[in-house]
Amino acid sequence: MRLTPEQRKIEEAYKTARTSGAYDQIWQTVGRCVFCDHDQTQKQHEIYEENGVYMTVPAYAYVDGHLLVIPRRHVRSVKELTPEEWEVMRKLFYLAKKMIREVHGVKGMQIVLKDGVTAQSTVEHLHFHCIPFDAPDLSVWNYRDLAHTPYENAEKYRAKSKKLQKLAKRFGEKYE
């Protein structure tokens, strides 16, 4: 696939979009699902597809090697995936990890799923980030002192076991 000089210019601008703040400005004006409504730029980043799930390099990658695994269907959440789609995703995670090592020499990978409205800042179309993990500096957890012991936290969840059972039952009715 060959790029025109204009396309090459656009591609170059992606390299610093995350660090320059350009990304934040761009996102405010998108107003569509970028994973459904593909433009040419996105098509030229795709590298593999199988049974309705594809693997692509994000335009706004966090680091070199970053991949996305995305179902073609516009679904918001893992629970909406068919068993077939989930099975292919499993395979694509494997392929992503192997290829990150092959192409970038990085042996570790973090899979990140941002779920829920406060976490999905941009797109409501399910997508998994497969991020090369060679050092923890890219994604540092801000650990917090716990208000509760592990036992107390387990008790808090167990106290809601009726709710948990109800949700488990509802999942069976809605999504299986």
The single-letter code of the amino acid at 78 is V
- Give the shortest CB-120-to-Zn ion separation in angstroms: 12
Report strand pairing: 53-56 vs 109-113.
Answer: unpaired
Cβ proximity to Zn ion, 74 vs 101, nearer residue = 74
Minimum CB–partner distance for residue 119 and Zn ion (Å) = 17
Binders of Zn ion among 65-124, rule CB under 5 A?
A: 74
Interface positions, 49-68, toward Zn ion (CB under 5 A)? none
In the complex, minimum distance from the CB of residue 70 to Zn ion, in angstroms, rounded to a whole number: 9
CA 27, CA 112: separation in Å to the nearest integer? 20
Q: What 3-state class would DSSP assign to 142?
A: coil
- Per CB under 5 A, does 30 bind Zn ion? no
Q: Rg (Cα) of the chain, in Å, rounded?
A: 19
Residues 122-151 that bind Zn ion (CB under 5 A): 125
Compute how many residues bind Zn ion; rule: CB under 5 A: 5
Minimum Å gap between C-beta 72 and Zn ion is 9
| Rama region for 132: left / alpha / beta (φ>0; ψ in -120 to 50; rest) | beta
CA 121 → CA 11, 21, 87, distances in Å? 23, 15, 27
CB 100 within 8 A of CB 86: no
Q: Which of 36, 47, 103, 113 binds Zn ion (CB under 5 A)?
A: 36
Binds Zn ion by CB under 5 A, chosen from 10, 13, 30, 33:
33
Interface ranges with Zn ion (CB under 5 A) = 33, 35-36, 74, 125
